[in-house]
Amino acid sequence: MSSSGDSDRRAARGRLRRRFLASQALIFLLAAHAATNAAAAPKPSAAQSNTRTLITTATGARLRERPDAGSAEVGRLQLGLVVEELERSAEKARVGSAEAFWHRVSAPGGASGWVFGGLVAPFDPARRDETYQRLASERVSHAAPTFPELSELVRFLDRALKEVTRREARAELELTRLFALGRSLASIAMEDLEKPPYKPWLTEHAGEIVYSEPAGQWFVRSELLWSLQRKHAGLPVAERAAWEAAQTPLPGECEGYLPCYIYKETETNGRYLRLYPRGAHAEQALSNLSEFFGHVTEDLRGGNPVFEVPRVDRPSFRKSVAALRAQLALVPAAGRARVVAQLDEIARRFR
């Protein structure tokens, strides 16, 4: 009995051992199969495993079918458009004087293609405000921007202002937008004002601009700039807005009517000096006033003056001169002396 029981136990242990070895072999085979499949699977490219976000830094950046400047154009990207990089060329290429990689990108709306690296820059959403400010500053500071560049810059800033969060960034972009809009108007030749794309642009911004017949040109409404100065009075941008407002021509022609000229100087250089009597542009504002009133006093000393104040308007005119003089009250005495003397001479002439 004992011998038979030992034999059965040995047989059972053998069966268990064979099953254990078989299961271990199966586990080994499955692991080996998985490793083989993993090795055979295509590895993601660097671009796929490290997707980057880019922002376009040029107007109408061309999307190409292939990473080649001679390849077919499949679309264009607006200035300041945020796109996703799908792939990057293996090597840099030279386009004009720039050398950079090509990037295959996906744009909002479904457009995709290759864009040259010299037309895009890395974009970090956490630094959105700073990126938008830098891009706007770079674009508006170009020496001779074209109308398409300026109009696209305005459109970019329209989008950017909906996204920025910091007050300082918003203030800077609001001023840059008005400045770019003004430059876009100045880039339109008088004979082209009724032609596309200029006429639609003027219509689109009708509430922000005003036409000056003597200049034959549209200007940004200066009150928009003064409003910006009031809105951001505690920030450095406020003075720049005030100076831009002071240098924006007011519409209409005075045609020798001196009260009209006094009004314009009061609302431009005089207004700036009242707000910033020691400002960065105070000296230039005083020089502007002195130059103009120098012409007036010289004309009045002649025998047939161009500048005139009808007798009926003289009481109100003298009040206007006094109001302009009061705007200069906080300007250092040495700086305002010449302008005050000119105003006094003009006021005496029309007592």
Same domain, 225 and 284: no
Could you give the CA distance from residue 101 to residue 11 in angstroms, rounded to a whole number?
A: 71
Helix pair angle (258-267, 314-327), 10° resolution: 20
Least confident of 6-20, 151-165, 265-279, 331-345: 6-20
Q: Is the peptide bond before 310 cis (omega within 30 degrees of 0)?
A: no
Task: Give residue-wise pLDDT tens across range 186-205.
Answer: 999 999 999 999 999 999 99
Best CA proximity match to 120, nearest among 170, 189, 63, 47? 63
- Whether the Cβ atoms of residue 223 and residue 207 lie closer than 8 Å to each other: no
Same domain, 294 and 311: yes
Could you give the CA distance from residue 76 to residue 85 in angstroms, rounded to a whole number?
A: 15
- pLDDT average, residue stretch 325-339: 96
pTM: 0.81
pLDDT at residue 38 greater than cutoff 90: no
Element (H, E) at 315: helix 314-327
- pLDDT average, residue stretch 163-176: 97
- pLDDT average, residue stretch 306-322: 96
Total structural domains in the chain? 4
**Where do the H-state alpha helices sit in 161-234?**
167-186, 198-204, 222-231
CA separation, residue 38 to residues 30, 32, 237 (Å): 12, 10, 58
Residue at 109 is within a domain: yes
Sign, CA dihedral 32-34-40-44, equals negative
pLDDT of residue 13: 47
CA separation, residue 45 to residues 48, 64, 82, 90, 100 (Å): 5, 21, 22, 11, 19
Same domain, 219 and 291: no
Banded pLDDT at 28 (limits 50, 70, 90): very low
Same domain, 117 and 23: no
Residue at 335 is within a domain: yes
Banded pLDDT at 214 (limits 50, 70, 90): confident
Here the contacts of 201-210 (C-beta below 8 Å, separation 24 or greater) are 201/151, 205/181, 208/178, 208/181, 209/181, 209/185, 210/251
Residue at 5 is within a domain: no
pLDDT of residue 259: 97
- pLDDT average, residue stretch 39-52: 45
Residue at 181 is within a domain: yes
pLDDT of residue 160: 98
- Whether the Cβ atoms of residue 159 and residue 196 lie closer than 8 Å to each other: no
Residue at 102 is within a domain: yes
Which residues pair with residue 99 across a beta bridge? Answer: 94
Task: Give residue-wise pLDDT tens across range 127-153.
Answer: 999 999 999 999 998 888 999 999 999
Question: Mean of the per-residue pLDDT values for the chain?
Answer: 88
Could you give the CA distance from residue 99 to residue 276 in angstroms, rounded to a whole number?
A: 46
pLDDT at residue 16 greater than cutoff 80: no
Residue at 2 is within a domain: no
Banded pLDDT at 7 (limits 50, 70, 90): low
Task: Give residue-wise pLDDT tens across range 259-284.
Answer: 999 999 999 999 999 999 999 999 99
pLDDT at residue 45 greater than cutoff 80: no
pLDDT of residue 50: 56
Same domain, 38 and 72: no
Residue at 33 is within a domain: yes
Q: C-alpha angle 265/266/268, rounded to 5°?
A: 65
Could you give the CA distance from residue 290 to residue 337 in angstroms, rounded to a whole number?
A: 10
pLDDT at residue 332 greater than cutoff 80: yes
pLDDT of residue 268: 98
Residue at 272 is within a domain: yes
Task: Give residue-wise pLDDT tens across range 77-122.
Answer: 999 999 999 999 999 999 999 999 999 999 998 889 999 999 999 9
How many other CB atoms sit within 10 Å of the CB of residue 284? 15
How many other CB atoms sit within 10 Å of the CB of residue 87? 16
User: Whole domain around residue 247: which residue ranges?
Assistant: 128-253
**Where do the H-state alpha helices sit in 41-118?**
46-49
For residues 262 and 29, the model is more confident at 262
For residues 2 and 264, the model is more confident at 264
Same domain, 103 and 52: yes
pLDDT of residue 143: 81
Same domain, 202 and 227: yes
Same domain, 192 and 225: yes
Could you give the CA distance from residue 99 to residue 106 in angstroms, rounded to a whole number?
A: 22
Task: Give residue-wise pLDDT tens across range 215-246.
Answer: 889 999 999 999 999 999 999 999 999 999 99
Same domain, 201 and 267: no
Task: Specify the amino acid at residue 267.
Answer: E
pLDDT of residue 208: 98
How far does Cα 41 stand from its chain's mean position? 46
pLDDT of residue 294: 97
pLDDT of residue 328: 97
